[in-house]
Structure 1
Amino acid sequence: MAHRTSRTNLIYRFCLYGFLKNQRYFAPFWILAFLDKGLSFATIGILIGFREISVALLEIPTGAVADTVGRRWAMIFSHVAYVAAFLTFGFTTSLYALFVAMFAFSIGEAFRTGTHKAIIFAWLKSQGREKEKTQIYGITRSWSQMGSAISVIIAAALVFWLENYTVIFWISAVPAALNIFNFLSYPSSLDFAGDKKPQRMEAMLSLWQATLSCFTSKNLRRPISESMAYEGMYGASKDYLQPLLQSVALAMPLFTAWENTQRTAILIAVVYAVLYVLGSFASRYSGPIALYLGNEQKAARYLWAAYGGTFALLLLGTITHWSILAIGSFIVLAVMQNIWRPILVSRVADEADEHAMATVLSVESQAKSLGVSLLAPLIGFAIDRMPTEYQLTPIAILGMAIALVALLTSPKLPSPDQAEAGSQGSDPS
């Protein structure tokens, strides 16, 4: 009974990590905060691209560090870097200092992404619960989304009250610091996948083999390339919901007695709270959704089709100036991403070696970062050159094109009869 309680408490701590991690009060105002500092969309795109390139360059080595020096300590260092980044974002208006802060943020992202998922999956395997990967990761991710829903309400209240975006960066450092104490409560057995810390040469060989497998293994190469396209496009475009909401807030005949920043804060709070709550439920039920659609592979194809269709709705909403449809499209994209992410990570984890899990998941996250780094500056430059009322058109067209390519290149899945025949013909040993 005590052992079962201990296992449950550890899942609670995994969920607490996600909840605290997403107390990023600047996230719903990220683009607006940079615009307030005098940056153009193109400069913001370059800054985001710099962040993602930095993450991509650091991703694999930090994953290897996590697999060798200990995954808990990698997570602790990650959140120390976050605290430094958030404080710098809040205190500076210098573009050079913003790049320094973004690099610190990239260090935090690089040490975090892949590492905590590796902790969860290694623990599930040690408990004989490997088949629950999608479900458990979906639950922890749902808590992340609930954390985001609460954080946007807190952030909007602060912006409404102070009419300033600076404080939301400072406040974001607090939950990041609290998460450090959460990691210290994790059992030391979660530091490594095996029984002992690997030697340096063994670690380098493991890093090389794990990285190479991501390119040579067809079963790994496909989901990683899909991550680069799907997550890259979503990551590069999702924050443009913020200026859309700002324009809608300023055009509304309601709350005219309030300042523009206050009206924007209220609308962002409402829309993002809905977005995050729906995302939380979507993530929680990603496992059952994948089972309902057949398996993770089939679910991915359905999601790609829905992805392209949603960008088509965004294009329609932009062309017709029907802002509600455009806003709804961003919300649907966020909901689908929260279904997609656990399914994608499960597909990668199924093909990865347990001892190099953090490295392989870091390669996947690196591919995602590379996608964002390529697309973010492109989107930023395109938006700067579009008429204000049609600024979202490049996002919609590019999203539709990426979805179409993914569907056209998607491998055909075996029918149920073929799959059954294949399994009967294989050697169970």
Structure 2
Amino acid sequence: MPIMSMVNHFGAYSFLKNQRYFQPFLTLIYLEKGLTYFQIGLLTSFHKTCLSLMEMPSGSIADLYGRTSSLEFAWLSYICSFSILAVSDSYPLLFVALFFVAIGDAMRTGTHKAIIFTWIRHQKLSAQKAEIYGNIRSTGKLGAALSVVIGSVLVFWSGKYSHIFWMTIPAYILGLLNFMCYPSYLNKSVIISLKSDVSRQSGRIREFVGHFIECMNISWKNVRIRTLLMESVVFDLMISLGRMYLQPILKETALILPIFTSFDETRRGSLLIGLVYFLLHLGSAFASSQTKFVS
């Protein structure tokens, strides 16, 4: 496959995965469903805890069963979660939905980056690694900025939040189709490619468990890795909780501004939230595009 064609596929992945039109309004969606901030905090903590517990075995699964296959499974998990979030106001079912999100996040995180770097090594483009990856990330951030605009328009048009989950699903279906265009060698990890045909055909469960235990032992015994993992979990949770309060603050700010007073509070809030998140993602896209100058 031509080099630029594959880079475009990677860019399409990065663009489509950020088409989460609900993301800037997620806390407001929970509030619309009748949840309290305490309940929202429990949901967020549950998601982060599940994600942390599943990231290690998900990496082993990707190593042993194929990276592209892992991403396809992640996308199916996302689609299941979006469907539940779109139709359900039941608090227990929201935990189920976030469990599927955690599965998707765990299977996705780091997996596609490994695919990109494998392709770069295969194409002997290591000297351009920072530029290629920076451009791919920039495409993703531009996609995120566009998703904010689309999400804001959808909320402004309808005056409601929850239905935008349905609008997210087509983008993730396109993402699944995009994975089918990846070369087959990108679905094979280094571990699998070095093993004999016999080991591929038998003992896969024992192989997975052994590989997982080995990775856990290495991570736990290494003080630096263990400390880094703990700090990462705490930092990520703090960022998520801070983001949780940003959306209602922006909405309340929009209500006290003497503009767009002819619209209801949901529509007025969507305008300011959309503007702030759009500028944040646009700045992030610019920073990613400049990676080649600082590498």
Q: TM-score, normalised by structure 2?
A: 0.89
Q: Which residue of 1 aligns with 2:246?
A: 241
Q: Which residue of 2 aligns with 1:62?
A: 58
In the TM superposition, residue 90 of structure 1 has moved relative to its aligned partner by: 0.6
Distance 1:214 1:124 in 2: 27
Report which stretch shifted further, 102-111 or 194-203: 194-203
- Cα 1:223–1:14 shift into 2, 3 Å: farther
Letter in 2 for 1:78: A
Q: Which residue of 2 aligns with 1:178?
A: 174
* CA displacement 1:58-83 (0-9 Å, x = unmatched): 22222111111111111111111111
Structure 1 runs of 4+ with >6 Å offset: none
Partner of 1:164, secondary structure, is: coil
Q: Where in structure 2 are the equivalents of 1:310-389 lying within 5 Å?
A: none
Distance 2:120 2:226 in 1: 24
Q: Which residue of 1 aligns with 2:120?
A: 124
Q: Structure 1 residue 281 and structure 2 residue 291: aligned?
A: no
In the TM superposition, residue 227 of structure 1 has moved relative to its aligned partner by: 3.2
Letter in 2 for 1:59: E
Distance 2:106 2:278 in 1: 27
Letter in 1 for 2:176: I
Partner of 1:166, secondary structure, is: coil
Residue from 79, 103, 121 that aligns with 1:83: 79
Q: Structure 1 residue 263 and structure 2 residue 268: aligned?
A: yes
Q: Which residue of 2 aligns with 1:40?
A: 36
Q: How many residues align?
A: 286
* CA displacement 1:15-63 (0-9 Å, x = unmatched): 1101000000100000011011111111101001111111222222221
In the TM superposition, residue 146 of structure 1 has moved relative to its aligned partner by: 0.8
Residue from 4, 10, 21 that aligns with 1:25: 21
Distance 1:137 1:224 in 2: 24
Distance 1:19 1:91 in 2: 26
Q: CA RMSD in A?
A: 2.2
Distance 1:160 1:180 in 2: 29
Contact 1:28 1:239 (C-alpha < 8 Å) held by counterparts:
no
Distance 2:229 2:129 in 1: 18
In the TM superposition, residue 137 of structure 1 has moved relative to its aligned partner by: 3.0
Distance 1:116 1:70 in 2: 11
Contact 2:220 2:226 (C-alpha < 8 Å) held by counterparts:
yes
* CA displacement 1:285-328 (0-9 Å, x = unmatched): 24534x4xxxxxxxxxxxxxxxxxxxxxxxxxxxxxxxxxxxxx
Residue from 4, 12, 16 that aligns with 2:8: 12
In the TM superposition, residue 7 of structure 1 has moved relative to its aligned partner by: 2.0
Partner of 1:145, secondary structure, is: helix
Q: Structure 1 residue 253 and structure 2 residue 250: aligned?
A: no
Contact 2:66 2:189 (C-alpha < 8 Å) held by counterparts:
no
Distance 2:227 2:56 in 1: 18
- Cα 1:235–1:135 shift into 2, 3 Å: farther
Letter in 1 for 2:61: V
In the TM superposition, residue 105 of structure 1 has moved relative to its aligned partner by: 1.4
Q: TM-score, normalised by structure 1?
A: 0.62
